[in-house]
Structure 1
Amino acid sequence: QPGINPRLDGTPGAVRGPAPALDQHREEILAEIEAGPPPASTDEIRATLRSALKGIKVLDLCIILAGPTCGRTLAEFGASVIKIDNPNRDTTIAFHNSVNRGKRSILLDLKSDEGRDIFWRLLEDTDVVVQNYRKDRISALGLGYEEVRKHKPDIIYASLNAYGHIGPWADRPGHEQFAQATTGMQARFGGDGQPQLQPHAINDYGTGLMGAYGVALALLHRQKTGEGQSLDGALAYTAMTLQSALVQGYDGKTWDEPRGQNALGSSPLHRAYQASDGWVFFGARVVDLPALSQVPGLEGVEKLRGDALEHMLEGRFRHTTVEQWVGKLTRVGIGSHRIVTSNRELMEDGWVRAHGLSITRDHEGWGPITTTGPAPRLSRTPVQPGRVAPRPGSDAKVILAEIGRANQLDRLVAAGVIRTEGVTASER
């Protein structure tokens, strides 16, 4: 099975043994109930914060998707995140708006002595640094974990890249497609033919979320001990985690999971079927066949198995609309749903909008922008998407003022250490 993801150097995770036998720990669990909960601490923090991470300051040095997603997630739960970008590097509007909302932006040349001096000043009251450079690149800047820890011993330092910061691949460049290639995802998605890219950046976004999860664990540990630590996350780690159920091995394992472009599901009762006006996915078990046979249009289904069952369902589903199938299957307690076939359809869906998963806000430079909303929801400290992604560099003056350098802005701009108006790739 895949190992632990992410990796914390101070409080490393561990596989605490195999999955237990069913009901193995019943007696000790019941004994804990009898003993009752431990007494509450008298200095317990009351739920008065508006956001779970309010008061936490983060310096985000990341590019592309994975690293910035970590910073965005921390911002959504209340952290104050300063996004530090290279003033000489283009960005992309779509990526920028997706992963940098809720942050403040400064374009700062960390290769320059003055740029690094500003970084060290910003670090003084910072709790977390997130970066996704390769190990050799961040070390060349003099901003690796050991260097940063000398300035701020209790810092939480998250490193997120393609292959991690240990081992023979630590200095290799890589991104989403490389993670898919090195972990078998492309072969699984392509099937027996040529490898195919899994088209969504699941490892990028997944690594960012795992990074935020690791940062939260490290902050909890620091709250208890006062100690900082480093966190090692990688797209390849995440790709292994996402394939956990498919790559585990055991005696008698049959490597026959659905794969390839024509993989519609795992069995005749758990797959996608084409209806008269679209596609529907439904999931049932063999024990559900009697109930399924009561659905108008599926009479006699309980007598069939295997290929015969699949062929029969393929023929029957084609004669009725998706909406009708979903209604009929739901009425007998069988899960089903239409398959969304376009991004526009998804982002305009009433359920998606009602749950805050599609949000539209005005941007001063780019007009109305629709992006995805955050997924985790806390009842006492609700998530906050924050302001729309700022125009790159637009917060430089305010950020410099916080470290007493506002009067140096014009000189720093003239020297090329800072830019106050970033240029996106689509604007060139």
Structure 2
Amino acid sequence: MSVRKQAGGDDTSALADIRVLDLSTGIAAPVASMFLGDFGADVIKVASPEPDVYDSLPGAAVWNRNKRSVVIDPTVEADRDWLVAAIGNADVCILGAADSLAAWGPEVESAAAANIRLIELRMPPYLDGYAPWEGESNGLLAAYGGQAMRQSSVAGGPIETMSPYLLYIHGVWAAACLVAALVERTVSGLGQVVTVTGVQGLIEATVTAMSVDPTLPDPSMKVGPAGRHPTYRQFRCSDGTWISCGALGPKFETGLLKALGLDAILADPRIDGVSARMALTENFEWCLPKLVDAFASRTREESLALLSSIGIPCGPAMSREEWLDHPQIRGIGMRVEIDDPARGRVVMPGSAINLTRTPARFDRHAPSHGEHNGATPWSARPVSEEPAPRFVEGPLAGFRVLNMGTFVASPYAGFLLKELGADVIKVEPLTGDPFRGSGYAYNRGMRSLAIDLKSEAGQGAFHRLVKVSDVVIDGMRPGVMSSLNIDYEKLAEINQNIVTMSLSAYGEGGPLSQAPGVDMVVQAMSGMMTSWGGEDDPVANTIAINDVTAAALSALTCVLALYDRQQTGRGQRTWDSLAAVSVFLQMGDMVKYDGRPELAVGRSDLRGLSPVQSYYETSDGWIYVDSTLVKGGPAAATSMLVFAELINSDTSSGDMDAVRESLAKSLRELTSEEAVAAVSAAGLRAVQARPLSSVLRDPRLLDAEAVHVRTADDKSSFMMTARYAGFSRTQRRGPLSPDGVGQSTVAVLTEAGFDDDEITALLEVGAVRTGGPVQHVLPIAYR
């Protein structure tokens, strides 16, 4: 029996019975524990006597909320005794980039090992046991992991980002893996070690970029700040404003060309009616100018009206400040205010996850260093059930998910849940997911059921599947599930324990709730593009940043609801949105309070936001330099001067911009290897900015199974992302492949209790269809 059931239970918070010791520093791991605190866990941030420098950043007001702070000095016996008592009765222990239990003393390690229910989350900055730098760094990870060289730009070369989004993604995905282990513990009674590395956060974000033919050279990224897709991008209008056009996929691409009077592009033999061919390098160069001219002849209002009239997602490019104050963000609860003794009234992002029965709570401001010293360590809790070890692949083994999502975010969430061990069934139309041609990587691991949910027979069959399932995911606009008679209220009548998770563009509530939306449009509306471009053209992230993050967030939403169900016996309806994700990904910049540092603004081909966090060109490539301290601090500036003097750059003026220019000139005379050595000698961190081809050939990544080499149907090879997390007791193994449309229809129905005659009847009336394997080929990159 669960602790909450035994105690009559707090039924208002999903993690109300969970005790968390957060021993981490930095950003990624505190973001992971933020989600636990938001949903009711008692999170104690254990700090050393020296404060974490990242706690002085504005974003710390968000990622440290709902926590207590206790300072522990490992050299003081009483402090060690407190930590031993706490970790011996904790449910979760979180370790960040440079953290280890050994640093707190052998007795702390022993107490953790003796706690058989403890789940230890480890979040090393690069690989488990290996990092080319000390501590965590978004810039170093992006540079060394190949992401920076894959960003579209004007001149090419590595590009710096405006927010540390790789660290945020690392945090949300690690939280999903951790809560999945908590779900598994409700079955086995045992904890385990969960390891989610910086590389695994990176591959979650860059799944498309890392799906490549390793024999081909790296593609040129000198395609401008909007990327390489001619219809899925931002456009400048005749009044000087910008809009984002979400025309992705054959339906929208073809519709847009016809609406703009550009049918001749489709008829051209180089395209031959296949709109996806416009994104090929040889066609992009002549297709794009025609589209640019078409939008340049229309005002923003005219352009948005035209796109909306044919159902293409679209929106204006806005600022970060406008987005946080937008009625849509307020309407979905993503703008909250908290009184903070140190900062005053703080406006910050709310929770991007919505559990309708056990919602997020914001009970505590971010604590000051040691604010809760003297707190009594947790006492022991009786456990009436004997542990029942399981030998399964993945902590979610035994749970079934019906995934109705199409395109990117929802299917990718299904893949992530399969990576965690769940049996995930892709419930798709008879004609299949319209994005299957480009979505090979997102659909891996899911079995396909092709079904007509608009038919009475199809709905009836789906209802029977729900009886033997645990989670239903959809990617539809609010209200569509109800029109199909498969909304939560109907499904809960069939299976009262069912968990449903709905992902939409703008969420439930607010004026845009019913509007269509996609990643590229939300990037523009949320201020991501304008903050990155500054006074230059808006910059689009080449990564489908809102989609891939929404996938991880959706997986976390599902496992939070599953954990609550395991404890209370009750399912619930949950939802999230791309709009909410766009705020989460800018949490450090979205925080507002009197006296907060001025927001940074980018520019075209941004190399860095400060001299000590920047890319520098060398004689044979690029390096990324990163201070070990908070950027802009006096000690960082001092290190910069020492570094400049070390390589004989002019430091006489003391002007950082002048020093930077002199430094850049000197570094261009060194090889990348020499430059990294010089930076390291000055006490700063640096790595080579590697092209993706170099990253994919790294034997360390291959050994760690960050990528797998796959064989195509034509016997060629291609690479895809591989192992996304490590579990000491419930590790899933082996590569995953997608089903063809309807490939598992008969098997799925049979497992749900349909007999042969019933399946035949469904096939005869066209309620379901069967199909063969998918074609295993590398798809054309769409961005």
TM-score, length-scaled by structure 1: 0.89
Question: 1:19 matched to which residue of 2?
Answer: 366
* Shift in CA distance, 385/188, structure 1 to aligned 2, threshold 3 Å: farther
Q: More deviation in 307-316 or 347-356?
A: 347-356
Percentage of identical aligned residues: 27
Question: 2:521 matched to which residue of 1?
Answer: 178
For 2:473 and 2:713, the matched residues in 1 are separated by: 28
Asked if the contact 1:362/1:368 (under 8 Å) is kept, the reply is yes
For 1:385 and 1:40, the matched residues in 2 are separated by: 38
Question: 2:588 matched to which residue of 1?
Answer: 245
Q: What does the per-residue CA deviation read over 1:111-153, in whole Å, with 9 as the maximum and x for residues that have no partner? A: 1111111111111110100111111322211111112111111
Question: 1:311 matched to which residue of 2?
Answer: 661
* Shift in CA distance, 420/265, structure 1 to aligned 2, threshold 3 Å: same
Question: 2:349 matched to which residue of 1?
Answer: 2
Question: 2:410 matched to which residue of 1?
Answer: 67
* Shift in CA distance, 348/27, structure 1 to aligned 2, threshold 3 Å: same
1:17-416 residue pairs with structure 2 within 5 A?
Answer: 17-28=364-375, 31-32=376-377, 37-39=379-381, 41-43=383-385, 45-50=387-392, 51-89=394-432, 91-93=434-436, 95-284=438-627, 285=629, 286-287=634-635, 289=638, 293=642, 298-299=647-648, 304-330=654-680, 333-342=683-692, 344-362=693-711, 368-384=717-733, 387-402=736-751, 403-416=753-766
Cα displacement (A) at 1:410? 4.8
Cα displacement (A) at 1:399? 1.2
Asked if the contact 1:293/1:299 (under 8 Å) is kept, the reply is no
Cα displacement (A) at 1:369? 4.2
Q: What does the per-residue CA deviation read over 1:283-337, in whole Å, with 9 as the maximum and x for residues that have no partner? A: 1145364597368952467763421221122112111122232244346653212
* Shift in CA distance, 409/179, structure 1 to aligned 2, threshold 3 Å: same
* Shift in CA distance, 290/84, structure 1 to aligned 2, threshold 3 Å: closer
For 2:372 and 2:384, the matched residues in 1 are separated by: 32
Asked if the contact 2:537/2:604 (under 8 Å) is kept, the reply is no
For 1:262 and 1:221, the matched residues in 2 are separated by: 46
Extract unaligned runs of 5+ from structure 1. none
Question: 2:767 matched to which residue of 1?
Answer: 417
For 1:272 and 1:143, the matched residues in 2 are separated by: 51
For 2:604 and 2:763, the matched residues in 1 are separated by: 51
Cα displacement (A) at 1:386? 5.1
* Shift in CA distance, 3/205, structure 1 to aligned 2, threshold 3 Å: same
DSSP 3-state at the match of 1:27: coil
Cα displacement (A) at 1:268? 0.7
Cα displacement (A) at 1:46? 4.4
Cα displacement (A) at 1:53? 0.6
Asked if the contact 1:400/1:406 (under 8 Å) is kept, the reply is no
* Shift in CA distance, 65/294, structure 1 to aligned 2, threshold 3 Å: closer
Q: More deviation in 347-356 or 227-236?
A: 347-356
Cα displacement (A) at 1:211? 0.9
Q: More deviation in 409-418 or 349-358?
A: 409-418
For 1:258 and 1:264, the matched residues in 2 are separated by: 12
Asked if the contact 1:78/1:384 (under 8 Å) is kept, the reply is no
* Shift in CA distance, 290/144, structure 1 to aligned 2, threshold 3 Å: closer
For 1:44 and 1:217, the matched residues in 2 are separated by: 24
Q: More deviation in 140-149 or 121-130?
A: 140-149
Q: What does the per-residue CA deviation read over 1:366-423, in whole Å, with 9 as the maximum and x for residues that have no partner? A: 8644211243322222244653112221111211221224444455344332232378
For 2:427 and 2:712, the matched residues in 1 are separated by: 20
Asked if the contact 2:649/2:663 (under 8 Å) is kept, the reply is no
For 2:438 and 2:706, the matched residues in 1 are separated by: 17
For 1:373 and 1:302, the matched residues in 2 are separated by: 47
For 1:397 and 1:367, the matched residues in 2 are separated by: 31
DSSP 3-state at the match of 1:309: helix
* Shift in CA distance, 348/421, structure 1 to aligned 2, threshold 3 Å: farther
Cα displacement (A) at 1:233? 0.6
Asked if the contact 1:273/1:317 (under 8 Å) is kept, the reply is yes
For 2:384 and 2:436, the matched residues in 1 are separated by: 49
CA RMSD across the alignment: 2.8
Letter in 2 for 1:10: R
Q: More deviation in 321-330 or 403-412?
A: 403-412
Cα displacement (A) at 1:230? 1.2
Asked if the contact 2:708/2:735 (under 8 Å) is kept, the reply is no
TM-score, length-scaled by structure 2: 0.50
DSSP 3-state at the match of 2:439: helix
Cα displacement (A) at 1:246? 1.0
For 2:532 and 2:386, the matched residues in 1 are separated by: 49
Cα displacement (A) at 1:47? 4.4
For 2:715 and 2:494, the matched residues in 1 are separated by: 39
Q: More deviation in 128-137 or 166-175?
A: 166-175
* Shift in CA distance, 76/384, structure 1 to aligned 2, threshold 3 Å: farther
For 2:416 and 2:706, the matched residues in 1 are separated by: 14
For 1:379 and 1:144, the matched residues in 2 are separated by: 38
* Shift in CA distance, 277/146, structure 1 to aligned 2, threshold 3 Å: same
Asked if the contact 2:644/2:651 (under 8 Å) is kept, the reply is no
Letter in 1 for 2:517: G
For 1:149 and 1:221, the matched residues in 2 are separated by: 16
Asked if the contact 1:97/1:371 (under 8 Å) is kept, the reply is no
Letter in 2 for 1:103: M
DSSP 3-state at the match of 1:111: coil
Letter in 1 for 2:383: S
Asked if the contact 1:76/1:385 (under 8 Å) is kept, the reply is no
Matched residues, number: 421
